[in-house]
Amino acid sequence: MDSPASPLAAQAPQKAPINWPAAIMFPLTTLPVLTVLPWYLVTHEVSAAPWVWAFILLWLNGLGITAGYHRLWAHRTYSAHPALKWFLALFGGMAVQNSILIWAAMHRVHHKHVDHIDHDPYSAKRGFWYSHMGWMLRDYPSAQLDYSNAKDLLDDKVVMFQHRHYLWFAFGSNIVIPVALGFTYGDVWSFVLIAGFLRLVVNHHVTFFINSLAHMWGRQPYTTTNTARDNDFIALLTYGEGYHNYHHLFQMDYRNGIQWWHFDPTKWLIAACSWVGLSKDLKRVPNFKIQRAMLQAQFERAREKLLHSRTNPSRLTDLQHLLETEWQQFSQTVAEWSKLQGEKLDAAKLHMAERVHEAQHQLQERWEASEMKKKLATLERALEEALEMQRQRVALLRMQMAAA
């Protein structure tokens, strides 16, 4: 007679079934890089051409993902001309990271449930390996396809064409382009191994770093409500995607690196395309909201320092008073800005009424030149400067707390 199963065994969770397409693809692309390529480099003379083209294709694939899959389709941070859409769909597909529809729908779930162990498809809370690529190797419930959050993409002809013919975009491009380049230079195998396999493997892992490293390594200047980090080194590897703490708070901004010195070639590409009519409606977060988020994060850190401070009680009281004074001023500035936004909305409505009146009476006044708009813009800049100055004061206050 069989003994009954133990309660512990009955409660043990079952492993998710293996996702065989991914489980087969990753070894098939990685093994030639680890075995055949080193042997080939030792036994054959390889020119610079396959390395140069590997770099070019790596960047085209990377930008296809960042400017296309991510910032255009997943987040709708700008609008693109059909020519740019096809370009991004082609080279994004060549990166072999699934179709635009699947990638973007999954990414929207990630932003909605970021860090949730059960609902975020690649939650960093489940560890580096899982968030890097482990989540793709098994059919976890959190990665089940659901297009209810991507109805806009279902109406995009480029997205749906690529989705229906994804295998041609992914594998056709990875075979045709390296082989065609190899025939052109008379060195097919070098191009297949370097511009083909090596380029694809590198592209996979630098992209996956956004899901793993960018949620574990770096700073959090804008928000501490999730694990996303800003990391300049990761930005170098990922075409600007490394400013991930900013992105998770302001996902509708077409920029990730907002400062001029931030390495964000994806941002520069989108902006450059707008100059020649290939992109438009570039969305930017108002500077005041950015300063407000940074200052709120500073207040959180300052309060945390005070909470664990070992300074004498009188000094602690003084620091608490200074911090509370700064917080009150911050709250007042935010209230003034909110009031200003209401005035701007009222002014915009007045402008629309004037435009109707103008159509009837051929008036020459314009909103862009109106005194009201100039006045509101001046007030808004003053509030932004006030926040920037306060951010410097709170930074100095935090230094005093650290020294206390």
Look-up: residue for tokens 């995607």?
Answer: 241
Q: What is the DSSP string of 303-343?
A: HHHHHT--S-HHHHHHHHHHHHHHHHHHHHHHHHHHHHHHH
Q: pTM for this one?
A: 0.84
Token output for 218: 């770096």
pLDDT at position 373: 63
Helix (H) or strand (E) holding 79: strand 79-80
Q: Which of 142, 68, 141, 78 is nearest to 101 (CA)?
A: 68
pLDDT at position 364: 47
pLDDT at position 392: 77
pLDDT at position 314: 66
pLDDT at position 303: 75
pLDDT at position 296: 84
Residues forming beta bridges with residue 280, ordered by sequence position: 79
pLDDT at position 334: 73
Q: Which of 147, 177, 158 is nearest to 88 (CA)?
A: 158
pLDDT at position 400: 66
Domain positions in the chain: 17-280, 287-403
In the predicted model, residues of the chain with pLDDT beneath 50 are 1-13, 359-365, 367
Segment 131-157, tens digit of pLDDT: 999 999 999 998 888 899 999 999 999
pLDDT at position 383: 73
